[in-house]
Amino acid sequence: MQVSKDYLDIAADGPIARLTMNRPHKRNAMCDGLLAEIDAFYSAPPDGVRVVILSGDGGHFCSGLDLSEHVARDAEGTMRHSRNWHAVMERIRFGGLITVSVMTGAVIGGGLELATATHVRIAEPSVIFQLPEGRRGIFVGGGATVNVGRIIGADRMVEMMLTGRKYGAEDGRQLGLAHYAVGDGEGMPLAEELAAKIASNAPLSNYVMVQALSRISDMSSRDGLFTESLCAALTQTTPDAEEGLKAFLEKRSPVFR
């Protein structure tokens, strides 16, 4: 399946879908239309899709919020707009699909908020990570205080926003903003390899890992350990778990449902 929307190109092949943000003249800045198209995909993905590869056309991932739209909003409109971003980022993180992001060029402001809502992040050498809101007299509104803050910590995030500091791919990898730092043109091949591997996992195991781990990190140790036991009981008593153990003992790759 291949579909081109106004701002988003969608290609689905079996369990893997490729979403390409297509506003190269704006460095893929996030307008309301692009956010709505991303939301629509994650709200009703094609049947059988398990993993998404998210990237941007034209050498940039996403340069953040389209400020030509932002300046026209009043306080109430800005707050509602922010809450809609939160809902879409939540859908990406917890909606049931695993997302691998291939980052090039600008990963700035809202682009970094989008990237950190994804589950596996690959950075090519052109990447620039930045939160420039402090230099523009505004504040983050698309989930950075949670999604970026949980990765790099509040102290470093304060410094990034106050100074507009930029990080490259390798610095981003060391900070956790990227899981992989690769060479030019190597992001998509690695994403495809990782997506295929993830798609071949047991579906329930993938789902529980995404749903549980970040939530457990917000719990007390006692509550987290109890939740871990529930997750273990849920996943380890399924036919897929039986197949995984059998495949290990037989020295073969498992075939999950």
Query: Which of the residues are catalytic?
Result: 113, 133
What distance in Å separates the CA atoms of residue 257 and residue 251, rounded to the nearest whole number?
A: 19
Strand partners, 21: 8, 56
- Distance, first Cα to last Cα, the chain: 22
> Which has the closest alpha carbon to 57: 94, 9, 99?
9
Enclosing H/E stretch for 128: strand 128-130
Widest CA span in the chain: 63
Radius of gyration (C-alpha) of the chain in whole angstroms: 19
> Which has the closest alpha carbon to 100: 51, 166, 50, 162?
51
DSSP classification of residue 119: S
Amino acid identity of 65? L
Contact, 123 vs 172, CB < 8 A?
Answer: yes
Instruction: Count CA within 13 A, CB hemisphere, residue 88.
Output: 23
Contact, 127 vs 155, CB < 8 A?
Answer: no
